[in-house]
Amino acid sequence: MDKVDLRKLASELNLSVATVSKALRDSYEIKEETKQRVRLLADKLNYQPNLFASNLRQGKSRTIAVVIPEIASNFFALVTDGIQAVAEKKRYHVLTYATRGNYENEMSTIKHLENGRVDGLLISLSCETQGHQHLNRLKEAGIEIVFFDRVSQLSDCPTVTTDDYTSAYKATEHLIQNKCKRIAFLSLPDHISINQNRKQGYIDALKSKNKVVDNRLIIPCVNEPEKDYLIVRDVLSRKNPPDGIFAVVEKLAIATYNACNDLKIKIPRQLKIITFSNLPTASLVNPSMSTITQPAFEMGMEACALLFRRIEKKYLSNKTEHIVLKSNLIARKSTAK
Amino acid sequence: MDKVDLRKLASELNLSVATVSKALRDSYEIKEETKQRVRLLADKLNYQPNLFASNLRQGKSRTIAVVIPEIASNFFALVTDGIQAVAEKKRYHVLTYATRGNYENEMSTIKHLENGRVDGLLISLSCETQGHQHLNRLKEAGIEIVFFDRVSQLSDCPTVTTDDYTSAYKATEHLIQNKCKRIAFLSLPDHISINQNRKQGYIDALKSKNKVVDNRLIIPCVNEPEKDYLIVRDVLSRKNPPDGIFAVVEKLAIATYNACNDLKIKIPRQLKIITFSNLPTASLVNPSMSTITQPAFEMGMEACALLFRRIEKKYLSNKTEHIVLKSNLIARKSTAK
DNA sequence: CTGAAAGCGCTTACAG
DNA sequence: CTGAAAGCGCTTACAG
């Protein structure tokens, strides 16, 4: 079975390649009867246009890239799912890249996107990301960028985030109300905006209750499972250990649960825990875990829809959209009095 | 800043486009000095070759597609992670498509891949998949296919799976040893090979212990969270309910936990549960969950490596590789006597 | 060692 | 309404 291309269709139909191409693109220039003949044969021979040829010619790709720190996380998996759902409807293809929280990876990935391979980029920054030259160059190359969750404050790109400051404030308040005196904030590396917002919410909530903000209770983790576990266990083994943990991501909460099991610390009696999380088993763990749950799937959909708005009508892009979605605080047993 | 293409480099360097292209591809035809001049300028101007042009010309894409039923599942997220890790090293791009367990989706996705957009496909079949014409056509188009986990018995493509029959046999045996008399097998829709292997393992284990296989204890779920929950709750509310549940995927186990909570059924006293699962919180749920854990990340790596072996040396492809990885049975409290 | 030329398979402005 | 021709940006067989 030879390859079916426009030339083949054209010769079988005694038409020119130009006419066949236009017919398949439903051009007003072509009469209905011809269009039908063309479509019929194209279907019969299962013609599939060569995307590289048409992308090259048209200068667009109907493809977007998604760059995330990791795939195997409930949050990012749900976001990606939401992105796919929207992209699929638009008949766009989705290239996914995991940076593993590594800045070098992120830079080289983005550099490889500069050749027009994609029309747009949805990105959640890796933990280590600091500079923005690589993203600026991409923008200059005419590729639309939308940040989600872990956004950059330095660029004027559109963003989709959740109300991290407010959620963190409420979560801290919740711990205080349930009698926590020494609340440890388990954080990711510091230059992530999301982390800064959450930390600020935590700090402001403490201040508003006239609690002293103790720097030793802001625990920077490193985003490596084993090391994070050791850091957490270390904190819980201190002479004057915390009686409340506010974890900025779910894997730190899991590390805390594991450390408590190993150290025989009772949750919530000796230690209360709340965390940002999209774990489907939050209500099933022992004890059930209080969470702030982000609308991850929705975030993916919103971010992708926003990206398409930008791709499809660039001329309107003088204003920069910032969408903020609400997270949900669900109190369970891990923070019970 | 205009676009930097070969022509631009060539004119700045007083060379021909052909020479520049060859220099960048490190051709033996070009002298070292010229190569260096070219590379220097290319770096300086941040030249990125247009992939559509070069793919069109060369007839390959350095891109693979991953088609999975869903992204937001620990298992598939881990597999995808493993795939990415290998693809990244080979400097390949990865297009991801989620079929949502829908056959139509799977067909149309695969049809769109027939145009040479990718060099290879890694696929785990959707629950509903039955026919194989769409995959056969893709093969005829010269695109290499590797199946993983949910494989097809009908094609002669290479596969990467786990030892599902054996694992299921052992899991059933484990339940019997812990005194279960009526073990319900919660299954996915039936035409998935993985499901058939797991079911056969279950049946054979029962037979080997001289237990009757009661068809009513093979419970087909439908792969929709709410409906599955209702099916499970219904089973547990029967007059003569099961005292053991063997779930073929983790979401059915989660449904079971939820149903037990609602119906006040005590695990493991009244009901024991074991499931195939990659949940990071299996040891933290209440009670901790006995699992058969598949090496998901490794499966992704193996499948991707196998695909590259096929892509890179098709001439050797007269034998079909089938890789089987070992799963791990981890007994926890949910199956304790 | 370098370059002119053809061609990958499309799309589209233009002519008829 | 149809078609001839140019061109998207590369790569490569061939000539010199």
Q: Is the pLDDT of residue A265 over 80?
A: yes
Burial of A285: CB neighbours in 10 Å, binned 0-12, 13-18, 19+: buried
Locus of tokens 């992670």: B81
CA dist B188 and B199 (Å) reads 10
pLDDT the model gives residue A116: 78
Q: How far in angstroms lies nucleotide C6's C1' from the CA of residue B57?
A: 12
Q: Is the pLDDT of residue B192 over 80?
A: no
For residues A310 and A120, the answer to whether their CB atoms sit within 8 Å is: yes
pLDDT the model gives residue A318: 67
Burial of A301: CB neighbours in 10 Å, binned 0-12, 13-18, 19+: buried
Chain-wide mean pLDDT for chain A? 90
Q: Cβ contacts (< 8 Å) between B93 and chain A: which residues? A: 95, 112, 117
Indicate yes or no: CB of B116 within 8 angstroms of CB of A51.
Answer: yes
Q: What is the mean pLDDT of residues B283-297?
A: 96
In A133-162, the residues whose Cβ lies within 8 Å of chain B are 137, 140
Strand B144-148 to strand B120-123: parallel, antiparallel, or no bridges (unpaired)?
Answer: parallel
pLDDT band (50, 70, 90) for residue B265 = very high
pLDDT the model gives residue A238: 92
pLDDT the model gives residue A293: 97
Q: Answer with the residue of higher pLDDT: B152 or B259.
A: B259
CA dist B317 and B310 (Å) reads 7
Among A168-182, A323-337, B140-154, B256-270, where is mean pLDDT lowest?
A: B140-154
Reading across the β-sheet that carries B272-276, which strands appear in turn?
A: B218-220, B183-187, B244-247, B272-276, B290-293, B328-330
Residue B269 CA: distances (Å) to CA of A115, B186, B243, B272, B334: 61, 19, 9, 7, 9
pLDDT band (50, 70, 90) for residue A59 = confident
Asked if A49 has any chain B CB less than 8 Å from its own CB, the reply is yes
Burial of B204: CB neighbours in 10 Å, binned 0-12, 13-18, 19+: middle
pLDDT in tens, B312-324: 875 555 678 899 9
Q: Answer with the residue of higher pLDDT: B318 or A225.
A: A225
Q: Which residue of A has its CA nearest to B77?
A: A72
Task: State whether residue A125 is helix, strand or coil.
Answer: coil
Q: What is the mean pLDDT of residues A308-321?
A: 76
pLDDT band (50, 70, 90) for residue B129 = low
Asked if A281 has any chain B CB less than 8 Å from its own CB, the reply is yes
For residue B268, what are the β-bridge partners? none
- Tokens coding A278: 């999209």
The candidate with the shortest Cα–Cα distance to B92, out of B144, B40, B138, B43, is: B144
Reading across the β-sheet that carries A218-220, which strands appear in turn?
A: A218-220, A183-187, A244-247, A272-276, A290-293, A328-330
pLDDT the model gives residue B113: 87
Amino acid A47 reads Y
Q: Is the CB of A238 under 7 A from strand C?
A: no
pLDDT the model gives residue B163: 96
pLDDT the model gives residue A138: 86
Indicate yes or no: CB of B72 within 8 angstroms of CB of A94.
Answer: no
**Smallest CA–C1' separation from A22, nucleotide:** C11
Q: What is the mean pLDDT of residues B191-211?
A: 89
Upper half-sphere CA count for residue B260 (Cβ side, 13 Å): 25
Upper half-sphere CA count for residue A187 (Cβ side, 13 Å): 25
Among partner residues A1, A140, A254, which is closest to B1 by beta-carbon distance? Answer: A140
pLDDT band (50, 70, 90) for residue A3 = confident
In A62-91, the residues whose Cβ lies within 8 Å of chain B are 63, 70-74, 77-78, 80-81, 84, 88
Q: Is the dihedral of CA A108, B116, A21, B134 positive or negative?
A: negative
Phi, psi of A193 (to 5 degrees): -60, -45
Q: Is the CB of A51 under 7 A from strand C?
A: no
Q: Is the pLDDT of residue A128 over 70?
A: no
Q: Is the CB of B22 under 7 A from strand C?
A: yes
For residues B330 and B293, the answer to whether their CB atoms sit within 8 Å is: yes
CA angle B35, B44, A142 (to 5 degrees): 120
pLDDT in tens, A270-304: 999 999 999 999 999 999 999 999 999 999 999 99
CA dist B202 and B199 (Å) reads 5
pLDDT the model gives residue B335: 97
Question: Percent of chain B scored above 90 by pLDDT?
Answer: 66
